[in-house]
Amino acid sequence: MKLVVGLGNPGEGYARTRHNVGFLVADRVALALGAPFAVRKFAAELAEGRAGPERVLVMKPQTFMNHSGEAVGAALRFWKLGVDDLVVVHDDLELEPFRVQLKIGGGDGGHNGIKSVNAHVGSREYARVRVGVGRPPPMMDPADYVLGHFKRAEDAEVEASVERACDAARLCVELGAAKAMNQVNRRQRAAE
């Protein structure tokens, strides 16, 4: 079993903000698996499907970003999963807008959702699908920037990056993070 977690904030006011790109990807992964978000457990919405022989749970924590790890840690313990079974999808200020990159481990980059996951999982060594949102304009608070909405003119780029991130998460589940990382990051470099 694999657990794919999209990080975001619950509520309509946060929909389609930069910080909620993880939720957009989780929705796309669930759709690709034909799995509705029909279960509420661990203060999260859950969808369950299959990717080939692999059982896949898709999670959207409903605890707000800074406490996302509570739901993730509880789910890993309940299903007795390890960090190698975990894929977390999140926005990343350090990547240029709409770039998708897969990595295993690393720092939190100031991302409070990742800080929370690290604390509740007890490790940093899990797969991360990072979706770039770029840096805020000069003099703008990064918190205000990530909580800002994507511009309508960016809709096509948002959709394309969500699709690439969905593919990256699916490859993590099907091939394992190390092999998936090779494919995802090589494709990104080739597209540049």
Distance, CA of 36 to CA of 31 (rounded, Å) = 7
From the CA atom positions of the chain, what is the Rg in Å?
15
Task: Please say whether the beta carbons of 87 and 177 come within 8 A.
Answer: yes
| Paired sense of beta strands 86-92 and 127-132, if any | parallel
19 is a catalytic site residue: yes
Find the catalytic residue in 19, 90, 111, 120: 19
| Paired sense of beta strands 100-104 and 127-132, if any | antiparallel
Positions annotated as catalytic residues are 19
